[in-house]
Amino acid sequence: MLHLERKRRWPSFYLDKNHDFDLLFWRYYDKIRRALREFQPDVVHITGPSDLGIMGALLAHQLGVPLAASWHTNIHEHAELRAAKLLRALPAPWRAASGESIRKGSFAATARFYQIARLLFAPNCELVSLLEKSTGKPCALMGRGVDTTLFDPAKRDRSPGPFTLGLVGRLTVEKNVRLLVEVERALLALGRKNFRFLIVGQGVLEP
């Protein structure tokens, strides 16, 4: 296993809490290349255009190893949502048009990056179809990692106490974390008070 120094990623481009793009990540190039040559992988799998993903794509090409890429974050929607704060001073029609341009441009750039891979993976059928159409590469459905036979609501045996609503993930705008506020208001409007939220994750929307 290759261990990189766990130091502050600097200079870096801020993306989210504890999630930066290291602008000098290339300082690890020789170390990662040596590790890959020693490991002799049959395939290199990246998860997007991060600093490590870009280096992984380059090294796979240089070493002649097939590259696979999986789509985990709708970066184009992420970009539009993040830009909304900068655009809020514009008139509504201009704001909408600018947001749409940012979304489409970001998707086109991201899809261009994913064209590098030989095989793609995506978490739902809509994205599978969209990626195949935009990249011209085969895309497979990425199955969820939950055993629905084992974790079946029919087997639930609840003890007395509040019903727990859980969320595990990054606490960011594009993850629609604010939906939890609407869920709480809807439950309270129905007179339901015997519930609580259990939230696991980090992000810019942390309280």
Give the pair of three-digit tokens for residue 165: 């609503």
Does residue 99 belong to any structural domain of this protein?
yes
pLDDT at residue 127, as a whole number: 92
Per the confidence metrics, is the pTM higher than 0.75?
A: no
Residue 76 shares a structural domain with residue 174: no
Amino acid identity for residue 186 in this structure? A
For residue 155, what is the DSSP state? G
Give the pair of three-digit tokens for residue 90: 């514009």
CB 108 within 8 A of CB 130: no
Does residue 186 belong to any structural domain of this protein?
yes
Rounded (10°) CA dihedral 13, 14, 15, 21: 40
Domain range for 53 is 12-141
pLDDT tens-place values along the chain, 207 residues long: 555 555 455 666 666 666 677 888 888 899 999 999 999 999 999 998 988 899 999 999 999 999 999 998 888 887 887 788 788 888 888 888 898 899 899 999 999 999 999 999 999 999 999 999 999 999 999 887 788 888 888 887 777 778 889 888 888 777 788 889 999 999 999 999 999 999 998 887 777
Does residue 41 belong to any structural domain of this protein?
yes
Does residue 98 belong to any structural domain of this protein?
yes
Question: Residue 68 belongs to what H/E stretch?
Answer: strand 67-70
User: For position 119, which CATH number holds?
Assistant: 3.50.50
Cα radius of gyration rounded to whole Å, the chain: 21
Q: How many domains does the chain have?
A: 2
Does residue 91 belong to any structural domain of this protein?
yes
In the chain, what is the straight-line distance between the N-terminal and C-terminal CA atoms, in Å? Answer: 36
Contacts of residue 169, Cβ cutoff 8 Å, sequence gap at least 6? 175, 200, 201
Residue 120 shares a structural domain with residue 20: yes
